Chains A and B, each alone.
Chain A
Amino acid sequence: MAKFFSPFSDRFGKSAMFRTGFVISMAVLALALAGYVHTPFPPNAMDEGAKLAGISAGHLLGTDHLGRDMLSRLMAGTGMTLAIAFGTVMTGMAAGAFIGALCGYFGGIFDEVMMRVIDTLFAFPSILLALVFVSVFGSGRIHVMLALGIAFIPSFARTVRGEFLREKNRDYCMSARQHGISHMRIIFFHILPNIADVLISSALIGFNNAVLAEASLSFLGIGVQPPDSSLGRMLSESQQYLFKAPQMALLPGIVLVFSILGFSLMGEGVRNND
């Protein structure tokens, strides 16, 4: 197992794509993690005298329209966005993989019913589903995470189900069954590790979609609530000041692009290695 997660192992090490993606992602992740430990200023602290200030020694990346330090907000915002994306993917993957595994392994009527439910869910655009969820249950980060997580279940469920259909008739499964090993053990300890490649690459790509989805929801004003920052909120707030303080839009934009680029390259790297 360990070697799947060791990026420079023989398995992925040869892929230049993976390595580039890994470096970019780690840089973004470092920015976010640093934000959890220390920010130059409190991210929500306002400074009346420094509204829309440019780059200076005090504020390395300038300030926004309420005089809040851009670097601090960027660090906290990246952290917030990545945390929501992570939570989303985890929710979607855990539920999706579980449903997909059961459906694929056992088949039959349970499979039929579950897959039709999944199809229905799949037919909904994820942003729309999240919008409905947020308007019913209220906005805020936890709700956004849950809403997007639910929207992500179908794609994981389908991918995992397909893999299970293929794997369950392989020799190692047959022999495990003949040895009288329980179904649950076969599913989670024999088959699941064998489809880790697929899961990881799905998770990485799903992560990108989650980053974008959080940004869209916050941009629309229903995701992360003010005064907290997230990449989407920062972009949303920057619109009025595009010409006067372009750093307000450019900085979160750049971070957003790099986080997506990094994880995309990693995902592609994993997939191409098959």
Chain B
Amino acid sequence: MIGRTAARRVLSLIVASVLAAALCGCAGGKTAKDSSGITIAIPQDIDSLDPHYMTAAGTKEVLFNVFEGLVKPDQAGDLVPAVAEDVTISEDAARYDFTIRKGILFHDGSSVKASDVKYSILRCAEAGINASLSAVKEIETPDDTHVSVILEQGDADFLCNLTCAIIPESNKEPAVKPIGTGPYKFVSRSPQENLIVTRFDDYWGTPAGIKDVTFKVEANADAVVMDLEGGSIDMYARVTSAQKDQLSDKFEIYTGAMNLVQALYLNNAYGPFSDVRVRRALCMLMDRQGVMNFVSDGEGSAIGSSMYPSFSKYFMPELNDLYETDVEAAKSLLAEAGYDSSSPLSFTITVPSNYQQHVDTAQVLAEQFAKGGVEVKINSVEWNTWLSDVYSARNYEATVVGVDASTLSATALLSRFHSKAGNNFINYNNPDYDKAYDKAMSSVDDSVRTECFKECERILAEDAANVYIQDLPCFVALNKKFTGYVFYPLYVQDVALLKPAAQ
């Protein structure tokens, strides 16, 4: 009886795999025939279609193609006008006057009005994901084409927050039927499967090079090489160095940086990690170069605080060497904190299983920590579990993950460590840090600001808020049928710049 069930199970498995193979064949054939479409694999599903409520970096990088703010980042890392045509900033940096671009349309064909801009900024501020927007005191709309944003106090760096998506006030269902002004407009979305967008022909700027784009959710990162070679996907922006070496010459590999802060993030509210000696000991137990050699073949760039090298204005390379690898010193620090071989420090690293590089990093760290007598357990969880348990509920001890910057400003990386920040998922609480950060936010003078932000970085490093590792190298594999991939200093995939390769 059991035997028959087993036989039936094997049979159904074979049938299922044959069917799957047949279906993959169909999909591959379709993309191959129709060169006006491209299928791009993304490592996780979209968490929200509502631009003001999305939190995952993986969502923002995709919807960058659908939504635009008054201004938007370009590939050099500067802010360029988007929905706004130009901007005038007052002397004290407390008043920003925008002129809305002439003739700019939403995807539904209606024109962008000042009231839509006001509605969007207020709605975005209300969502609270970008805390900096709470500095907006008032938004004036003297007519349909002019908008003035007035701040509580001057902030020379505020413009980068106005990349917040402009959406039409008339759209009652922004989470189901997203409408923006970007080069691509939304077509459909199947949860856990894909997001389909198509070129917006009335786009104000240079029209996109490829008409139809499918973002396919590829939760199993291990199948990427197969799918790329098989033709069911044309591009993947997170190819690991191991995968890169296996791809045939059908693919062009673009090399850049992922622009994120990969670290062992420590829940500072979790008992042992509330002691700075324990956190410092972990920093000393880590051999950063060793991790980088294992995980990214040594091609990443070392970081020592919550800032990555692309932000050259704020990045402080001297913090990388703050903690030399020193097992003995780490052991004596741990002993001071009350952990020795009879009562060793032990904790669990929760890691999202869809990111092989984070899972591998966790394994290498566990091995290195073991040298100092620290016992590490690894718990690999599915991405949605990670988001809800670790990021939202903060119910974890430590996690390996990469944190990106959503805007082109130091605040994007540093604001989350303020004790009052809503996205302070490591529960970091340091009055000195709050003071330095608040001082940066309140000063108009750019050099003072920069100094304060650097102070924040120094505090994070010296306080060993987290065990900082690296900015991972980024390899983008693009089928040679297409060309034109460009890296941004932000976590962004600008699909509009891609175009079919010359025949």
Say yes or no: A240 contacts B225, CB within 8 Å: yes
B223 within 8 A of A: yes
Check B447 for interface membership: any CB of A closer than 8 A: no
Chain A hits for B385, CB < 8 A: 135
A residues within 8 A CB of B225?
240, 242-243
Among B9, B222, B363, B364, point to the contact of A240 (Cβ < 8 A). Answer: B222
Contacting pair A205 B293 (CB below 8 A): no
The residue in chain B whose Cβ has the minimal distance to the Cβ of A127 is B9
**Minimum distance in angstroms from B378 CB to a CB of chain A:** 5
Q: Given the known A-B contacts A202-B2, A206-B2, A243-B225, are A225 and B378 also in contact in the complex, defined by CB atoms under 8 Å? A: yes
Chain A residues whose CB sits within 8 angstroms of the CB of B2 once the complex forms: 155, 159, 202, 205-206, 209
Interface string of A136-156 (1 = CB under 8 A from B): 001100000000000000010
Residues of B within 8 A of A252 (CB): none
CB pair B378 A240 closer than 8 Å: no
Residues of A within 8 A of B226 (CB): 242
Q: How far is the CB of B287 from chain A (nearest CB, A)?
A: 9
- DSSP majority for the B interface? helix
Residues 242-274 of A, flagged 1 when their CB comes within 8 A of B and 0 if not, give 111000000000000000000000011001000
Q: Report the Cα distance A66→B243, complex, angstroms.
A: 15
Q: Which residue from chain A places its CB closest to the CB of B242 in the assembled complex?
A: A240
Q: How many residues of A contact B (CB 8 A)?
A: 35
Q: How far is the CB of A163 from chain B (nearest CB, A)?
A: 11
Complex interface: chain B residues within 8 A of A241 (CB): 242, 246
Could you say which of A7-15, A20-28, A41-49, A182-190 contacts chain B? A41-49
A46 touches B367 (CB 8 A): yes
- Does B382 count as interface, using CB distance less than 8 angstroms? yes
Q: Judging by beta carbons under 8 Å apart, are A208 and B6 in contact?
A: yes
B1 touches A227 (CB 8 A): no
Interchain residue pairs with CB less than 8 A apart (29): A46-B363, A46-B364, A48-B290, A52-B242, A66-B294, A66-B360, A67-B294, A135-B385, A138-B379, A139-B379, A155-B2, A202-B2, A205-B3, A205-B6, A208-B6, A209-B6, A209-B9, A221-B382, A225-B379, A225-B380, A226-B378, A240-B222, A240-B246, A240-B356, A242-B225, A243-B225, A244-B242, A244-B245, A244-B246
B contact set with A: CB distance below 8 Å: 1-3, 5-6, 9, 221-223, 225-226, 240, 242-243, 245-246, 290, 293-294, 353, 356, 359-360, 362-364, 366-367, 377-382, 385
**4 closest Cβ pairs, A-B complex:** A239-B222, A221-B353, A243-B246, A227-B363
Q: A155-B5, A226-B362, A236-B222 are in contact. List 8 more A-B contacts (CB 8 A).
A: A45-B367, A206-B2, A221-B353, A222-B380, A225-B380, A227-B367, A242-B246, A244-B242
Chain A interface (Cβ < 8 Å from any Cβ of B): 44-46, 48, 51-52, 65-67, 135, 138-139, 155, 158-159, 202, 205-206, 208-209, 221-222, 225-227, 236, 239-244, 267-268, 271
